[in-house]
């Protein structure tokens, strides 16, 4: 008999997922699946996954409260006094104006700690998620720079341009939640065994099953997963089903095709069973380099991962807000590593068309078929209306294609029917490349230039704090700061690859640190980052931005040399990172 207990974890950030899986490893009788999602996504995840043999859900904060409304057994990961203390301790190194925004139970504990430890922290209490944005806007207007908060407030704060230190749950809080979950599951074991037997009778039939009640609520699901687009499709078909009739149809949702057999059932009350088989069809070669993002996916791209860089961009946050709300084409420029795609996603999220798709056209990945599809197909995103079109790295296009694209955008009414964003990488010291200037003149774009990190050295201490608040989430014990000399070394470094490089270095420093980042560890990390600079002449200046006007073979060679330098000449490590053999790596290095 299998006495294992299956638990579903829905947590607000990746670091908590790591800790929850680590705690679960201490309980040999537990099988744990963990998903990362915000409050809205958490409810959808639970609705889609809970019926698949889970005994209980482990979650936190507002997500846990929302799940309880669905009559799902939920165990909440609480925020302990120690967790609040860690966040307060981390904020002690800030010299700018900061505040804490929290629900009443956390705010009361935080106030008691501040009184005991003589911390001067402004604490703002909210009673619902609806109060978060107005409160954070007030803090922004009142010149606060940093906010201590939970994950939901963290996303909103960063979208408003505030720096954040979000309050994480430590190992002990997670371990206590796991103990409570096991106690809850013991009372449900008999029902779980019956449910497992019932599912075993249906398994192996080659067909998946979904059962709905009269209110169109899902009461049973047997299959690999429950994609939301499939559930929406099935409910739509049920509404159109003639009463008491069985129906066989084929329908598509996204890039998946389903063969459906819809059959009425009666078992005490009326149900409808949908038997379906799946055939997935991947994107064709004629769409290489073209990808559609939903609003939730774009939000994750803009705010859900990586470091928060606050008001580090130029022009000011007020100008960015104006750009986000206008329909004039926007040209984003910046050096390699300045996160232009992330800024484009931010403009989309703040813009008037955020409920329509974000279409990303990566000019580096467009082949002949996808270029023909883009310009000539009636299904091309350029033929649509009401979408946001983001052309990434337009400098990678050949001169002929750049001219074709400019003519299509300017003469084809594309910019009037859609929101158009473009980005182009400029070389060190430039604010705009000649390729970008051509689009600026022909399309009358507004320009958003992203400052290189070397021009913002005074912001390095703020960036360090912001990075630690994110990276500490996956550590058992937090790193509380950096030595003054370590900060000076990070400020002195030229950061040729800007914010992407800074994030990578901070991840390495945090992983190696105990309580404080030392100057010695910074010296060692930056020495590795500087490796390519001492070999620039021999290796073709690999630490300058890639020249995308070269042939594909030459670009492949530059990328291979760059990765080889970053692995200190270790061919095995470089080949593994590039997911190629050492023979292929040696061929790439020799060609060109």
The residues, ordered by sequence, that sit 6+ positions from 371 with a Cβ below 8 Å of its Cβ are: 401
Q: How far apart are the first and last CA of the chain?
A: 63
pLDDT (average), residues 433-461:
89
CATH (residue range 5-78+171-192): 3.40.50.2300
Answer whether residue 72 shows pLDDT above 90: no
Answer whether residue 181 shows pLDDT above 70: yes
CATH class of 81-166: alpha beta
The whole-number pLDDT of residue 280 equals 43
pLDDT (average), residues 471-486:
88
Domain limits, CATH 3.40.50.10660, in the chain: 81-166
Q: Return mean pLDDT, the chain.
A: 81
Query: Is the pLDDT higher at 288 or at 179?
Result: 179
DSSP string, 112-176: HHHHHHT---EEEEESSGGGHHHHHHHHHHTT--EEEE-HHHHHHHHHTT-EEEEPPP-HHHHHH
pLDDT (average), residues 362-388:
86
The whole-number pLDDT of residue 350 equals 86
Residue with token string 């990746």: 14
Residue with token string 């001067």: 120
DSSP β-bridge partners for residue 5 = 30
The whole-number pLDDT of residue 411 equals 82
Query: pLDDT for 510-526, tens place per residue?
Result: 998 988 999 999 988 88
Fold of 454-529: Helicase, Ruva Protein; domain 3 (1.10.8)
Determine how β-strand 163-166 pairs with β-strand 208-212.
unpaired
CB 358 within 8 A of CB 388: yes
CA atoms within 13 A on the CB side of 152: 20
Structure tokens given for 42:
């958490």
The whole-number pLDDT of residue 153 equals 87
Fold of 203-280: Beta-Lactamase (3.30.450)
CB 291 within 8 A of CB 254: no
pLDDT (average), residues 547-576:
74
The whole-number pLDDT of residue 138 equals 94
The whole-number pLDDT of residue 428 equals 83
Query: Is the pLDDT higher at 130 or at 62?
Result: 130
How open is the CA angle 460-462-468, to the nearest 5 degrees?
A: 100
pLDDT classification of 540: cutoffs 50, 70, 90 = very low
Residues constituting the chain: 592
State which CATH number among 1.10.1070, 1.10.10, 1.10.287, 3.30.70 fits the domain covering 535-590: 1.10.10
pLDDT classification of 205: cutoffs 50, 70, 90 = low
Domain limits, CATH 1.10.10, in the chain: 535-590
Residue with token string 């791209």: 301
pLDDT classification of 402: cutoffs 50, 70, 90 = very high
How many C-beta atoms lie closer than 10 Å to residue 208's C-beta? 19
Supply the angle between the helices 340-350 and 317-325 in degrees, to the nearest 10. 60
Fold of 285-451: Rossmann fold (3.40.50)
15 vs 168: CA distance, rounded Å: 9
Query: pLDDT for 231-273, tens place per residue?
Result: 887 777 777 666 666 766 656 666 665 667 788 887 777 888 8
pLDDT classification of 20: cutoffs 50, 70, 90 = very high
The whole-number pLDDT of residue 591 equals 63
Residue with token string 């301790």: 89
Query: pLDDT for 125-168, tens place per residue?
Result: 998 888 999 999 999 999 999 999 888 888 889 899 899 988 88
The whole-number pLDDT of residue 539 equals 35
pLDDT (average), residues 103-116:
87
């Amino acid at each position: 008999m299998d006495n294992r207990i299956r638990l579903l974890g829905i947590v607000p950030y990746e670091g908590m997922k790591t800790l929850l899986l680590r705690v679960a490893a201490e309980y040999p009788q537990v099988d744990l699946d963990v998903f990362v999602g915000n409050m809205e996504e958490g409810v959808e995840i639970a609705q889609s996954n809970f019926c698949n043999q889970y005994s209980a859900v482990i979650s936190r904060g507002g997500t846990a409260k929302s799940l309880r409304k669905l009559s799902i057994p939920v165990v909440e990961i609480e925020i302990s006094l120690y967790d609040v203390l860690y966040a307060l301790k981390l904020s002690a190194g800030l010299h700018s104006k900061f505040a804490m925004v929290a629900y009443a139970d956390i705010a009361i504990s935080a106030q008691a700690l501040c009184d005991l430890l003589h911390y001067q922290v402004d604490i703002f209490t909210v009673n619902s998620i609806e109060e978060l944005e107005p409160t954070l806007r007030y803090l922004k207007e009142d010149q606060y720079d940093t906010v201590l908060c939970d994950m939901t407030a963290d996303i909103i704060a960063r979208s408003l341009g505030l720096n954040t230190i979000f309050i994480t749950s430590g190992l002990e809080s997670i371990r206590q939640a796991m103990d409570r979950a096991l106690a809850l599951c013991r009372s449900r074991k008999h029902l779980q065994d019956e449910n497992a037997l019932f599912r075993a009778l249906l398994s192996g039939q080659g067909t998946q099953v979904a059962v709905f009640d009269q209110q169109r609520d899902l009461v049973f699901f047997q299959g690999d997963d429950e994609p939301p687009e499939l559930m929406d499709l099935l409910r739509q078909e049920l509404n159109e089903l003639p009463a008491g009739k069985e129906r066989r149809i084929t329908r598509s949702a996204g890039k998946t095709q389903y063969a459906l057999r819809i059959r009425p059932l009666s078992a005490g009350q009326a149900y409808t069973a949908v038997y379906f088989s799946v055939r997935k069809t991947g994107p064709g070669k004629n769409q290489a380099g073209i990808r559609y993002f939903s609003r939730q996916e774009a939000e994750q791209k803009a705010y859900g991962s990586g470091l928060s860089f606050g008001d580090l961009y130029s022009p000011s946050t007020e100008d960015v807000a104006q750009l986000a709300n206008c329909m004039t084409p926007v040209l984003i420029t910046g050096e390699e590593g300045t996160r232009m795609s992330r800024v484009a996603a931010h403009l989309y999220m703040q813009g008037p068309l955020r409920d329509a798709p974000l279409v990303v056209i990566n000019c580096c990945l467009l082949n002949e078929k996808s270029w023909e599809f883009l310009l000539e197909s009636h299904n091309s995103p350029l033929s649509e209306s009401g979408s946001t079109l983001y052309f990434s790295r337009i400098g990678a296009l050949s001169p002929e294609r750049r001219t074709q694209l400019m003519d299509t955008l300017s003469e084809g009414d594309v910019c009037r029917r859609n929101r158009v964003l473009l980005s182009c990488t400029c070389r060190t010291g430039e604010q705009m490349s000649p390729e970008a200037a051509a689009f600026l003149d022909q399309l009358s774009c507004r320009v958003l230039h992203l400052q290189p990190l070397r021009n913002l050295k005074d912001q390095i201490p703020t960036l360090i704090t912001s990075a630690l608040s994110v990276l500490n989430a996956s550590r058992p014990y937090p790193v509380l700061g950096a030595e003054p000399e370590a900060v000076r070394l990070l400020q002195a470094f030229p950061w040729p690859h800007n914010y992407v490089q800074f994030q990578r270095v901070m991840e390495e420093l945090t992983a190696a640190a105990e309580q404080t980042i030392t100057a010695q560890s910074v010296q060692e990390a930056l020495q590795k980052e500087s490796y390519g600079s001492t070999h620039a002449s021999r290796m073709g200046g690999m630490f300058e931005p890639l020249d995308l006007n070269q042939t594909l073979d030459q670009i492949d060679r530059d990328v291979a040399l760059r990765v080889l330098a970053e692995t200190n000449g270790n061919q095995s490590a470089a080949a593994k990172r590039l997911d190629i053999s050492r023979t292929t790596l040696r061929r790439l290095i020799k060609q060109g």
